């Protein structure tokens, strides 16, 4: 049985797959940008996404009857693009997040350690299943989440944490960057 997978079909299929991965990844990031209220980013990505989609769909529709295998490349590109979009968004880490850490012990020490690296921390005393706990409330950028959790876990390995998406944030404290030196200092003086 001939599935129509000659060299030109394979090359067209790979091009459709790659373009569809890019198109759907842009769509995923665009949707997340919309949720975060990033209008300019959503506008640009939407324009690029639809332009690319039109180019892909015209290629596939023109040849789908003669080369049905292009439909498989199209579908695989869509599925892969969703995964790639999610992975890219996690890497970019748009937005802010609320980190709540429940410390069964050493809560104040942990809070001070997080403050020492430049983040604001609000603490609350509470009662957990096994006794008193300290809750640390930290609002940070999503890109700062992993280092904060690593710091907390280095002090209290059995600390429990929860993250929530922050819709609107009035002020976020971040570690300050060191003074620019070398060629960066020259560029800053402009």
- Minimal CA–CA distance to 89: which of 39, 35, 137? 35
pLDDT tens digit sequence for 118-175 = 999 999 999 988 899 999 999 998 889 999 999 999 999 999 999 998 777 776 666 6
Q: Average pLDDT, whole number, for the chain?
A: 87
pLDDT tens digit sequence for 18-50 = 999 999 999 999 998 888 888 999 999 999 999
- Whole-number pLDDT of residue 90: 85
Task: Match 């609107």 to its residue by tokens.
Answer: 168
CB burial readout 3-33, b (16+ within 10 A) else e: eeeeeebeebbebbbebbbbbbbbbbbbebb
Q: Is the pLDDT of residue 190 over 50?
A: no
Q: What percentage of the chain has pLDDT greater than the value 90?
A: 59
Q: CA 83 → CA 80, 94, 139, distances in Å?
A: 5, 17, 28
Q: Is 131 left (phi over 0), alpha (psi -120 to 50) or beta?
A: left
Q: Is the pLDDT of residue 1 over 50?
A: no
Q: Is the pLDDT of residue 55 over 80?
A: yes
CA dihedral 49, 52, 53, 59 (to 10 degrees): -170
Looking at 58-62, 99-103, 143-147, 160-164, which range is the least confident one? 58-62
Decide if 56 contacts 22 (C-beta within 8 A).
Answer: no
Where does the pLDDT of residue 65 fall: very low under 50, low under 70, confident under 90, or very high at 90 and above? confident
Does pTM surpass 0.75? no
Burial of 119 (0-12, 13-18, 19+ CB in 10 A): buried
């Amino acid at each position: 049985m001939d599935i129509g997978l000659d060299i030109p079909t394979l090359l067209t299929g790979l091009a459709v797959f790659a373009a569809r991965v890019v198109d759907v990844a842009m769509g995923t990031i665009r949707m997340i940008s919309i949720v975060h209220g990033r209008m300019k980013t959503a506008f640009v990505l939407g324009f690029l996404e639809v332009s690319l989609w039109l180019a892909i769909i015209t290629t596939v529709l023109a040849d789908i009857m003669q080369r049905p295998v292009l439909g498989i490349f199209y579908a695989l590109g869509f599925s892969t693009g969703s995964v790639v979009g999610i992975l890219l968004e996690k890497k970019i880490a748009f937005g802010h997040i609320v980190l709540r850490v429940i410390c069964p012990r050493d809560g104040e020490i942990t809070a001070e350690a997080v403050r020492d690296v430049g983040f604001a921390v609000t603490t609350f005393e509470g009662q957990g299943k096994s006794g008193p706990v300290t809750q640390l409330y930290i609002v940070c950028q999503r890109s700062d989440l992993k280092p904060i959790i690593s710091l907390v876990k280095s002090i209290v390995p059995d600390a429990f944490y929860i993250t929530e998406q922050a819709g609107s944030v009035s002020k976020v404290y971040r570690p300050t960057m060191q003074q620019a030196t070398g060629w960066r200092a020259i560029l800053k003086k402009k």
